[in-house]
Amino acid sequence: MIVRISNGRIATPARVLDGADITVSRGRIVVVDPAGTGRADEAIDLDGGWLLPGFIDSQVNGGGGVLFNDHAHPDAIAAIGAAHAKFGTTAFLPTLISDTPTQIAAALDAVDSAIQRGEPGVVGIHVEGPFINEVKRGIHEAHRIRRLDADTLNLLIAPRRGRVMLTLAPEQCDAEDIRTLTRHGVIVSAGHTDASYDEAKRAIVAGLTGVTHLFNAMSPLHHRAPGMVGAALDSDIWCGLIVDDAHLHPAAVRIAVKAKGIERLMLVTDAMPTVGTEATEFMLQGKKILVRNGVCVFTDGTLAGTHLDMASALRNTVEVTGLSVSDAAVMASTTPAHFLSLASDRGALAPGLRADWVWLDAELRPRRTWIGGEPIDQPILAPARAAH
């Protein structure tokens, strides 16, 4: 199938094109031809908008009215994926907030089943906690927090169909545990941590490769105690950013971009079940969470994930940093693909990769999403988080 893209801009790894014919076979891009002079089977008029590689989100707690912690089932994962696909997300990790060993096992099995039956977009699981530091727990429940034990370690390193990402506090586990996890393919990321600079650097040497949400819920940068933030900025590990005008001051986003570059920064949503719905509240492990002015908060003011979609995260990033749309798209697609070791499969509009893409209008609002070359025929709701 040859798809003719016109009247807009197409972000490819080499350059931004004004138009192209994209040949797709078996769900993958075969050729991106800027000339576009031959026969075409389908035409997409971008109407002044953008065609970008599909977004990849490594932290999705919920969407479409479904919270993964409450529904560790392939059907629930499908519902979450469908909600986020409307906003351009073509690959994601359902994310389990600190929970019991039994629920961790159920979540791992549910993701395996979802991948086996071919649910669009699901590429693995993110287990966020409970091996975190209580002093930086945020909305995570204190009574669930514990150290990583041998039984759970063996559960996490067992062979799986997709990627397994684990967020932990480096100071709360042994370096040997990190080495064991990474040796078996688990992606280890730091979060909800009060690690010192030295503790963080030791974890990086042991195999830690990411920071789940830079700046948030971690030891800050101080000129005599650089902490987890300092170690992240002073290394080449990947870092997630929640760009929703609540989790980060715009200056913090700009500082991160200048320090790390777009190749080591990735946009994440930390999305909650309200994304893709009109709901203004939900329950999280017995606590009522309210959505106020697009921000998810507990009654005491504690941030509780987000009401953010990836298209809005990209739009916000362009606004607060001045980055080009194509550079922001690297942070939403290409960089997370590299972090998850999926760059040979997706993350760019290039031959050999999956035909996953999103059409944004001239205001960078989602119009339509394609996964494996197939359009997601669902009505686009108003973006869950308007640009600030």
**Any idea which residue has 């590299």 for tokens?**
338
Residue 139 marked as a ligand binder = yes
Separation of alpha carbons 200 and 228, rounded Å: 6
As a whole number of angstroms, the longest Cα–Cα distance in the chain is 64
Annotated binding residue at 105? Answer: no
Q: Is 213 annotated as a binding residue?
A: yes
Separation between Cα atoms, residue 235 and residue 204, nearest integer Å: 9
Q: Determine if residue 108 is labeled as part of a ligand binding site.
A: no
Q: Which two tokens stand for residue 219?
A: 């030891």
Residue 128 assigned as binding residue: yes
Annotated ligand binding at 143? The verdict is no
* b (16+ CB within 10 A) / e for 199-225: bbbbbbebbbbbbbbbbbbbbebeeee
Give phi and psi for 284, each to the nearest 5: -125, 105
* 354: DSSP letter: B
What is the rounded CA–CA span in Å between residue 261 and residue 264? 6
Angle between helices 74-85 and 101-116 (to 10 degrees): 70
What gap in Å lies between CA 333 and CA 91, rounded to an integer? 9
Q: Is 84 annotated as a binding residue?
A: no
CA distance 292 to 345: 38
* Cα gap 261→255, rounded to integer Å: 10
- Establish whether 217 is an annotated binding residue: yes
Q: Does 223 show up as a binding residue in the annotation?
A: no
305 is in an annotated binding site: yes
Q: Are the C-beta atoms of residues 105 and 168 closer than 8 Å to each other? A: no
Which residue among 21, 270, 309, 356 is the active-site one?
Answer: 270
Active site residue 270: yes
Beta bridge partners of 296: 291
Question: Would you give the distance in Å from CA 167 to the centre of its chain?
Answer: 13
HSE value, Cβ hemisphere, 13 Å, CA-based, for 159: 0
Beta bridge mates, 124 = 163
Q: What are phi and psi of 223, to 5 degrees?
A: -65, -20
Is residue 354 within 8 Å of 27, Cβ to Cβ? yes
Binding region for Zn(2+): 128, 192, 213
Binding-site positions for substrate: 139, 216-217, 224, 247, 303-305
Active site residues: 270
User: Which residues are annotated as part of the binding site?
Assistant: 128, 139, 192, 213, 216-217, 224, 247, 303-305
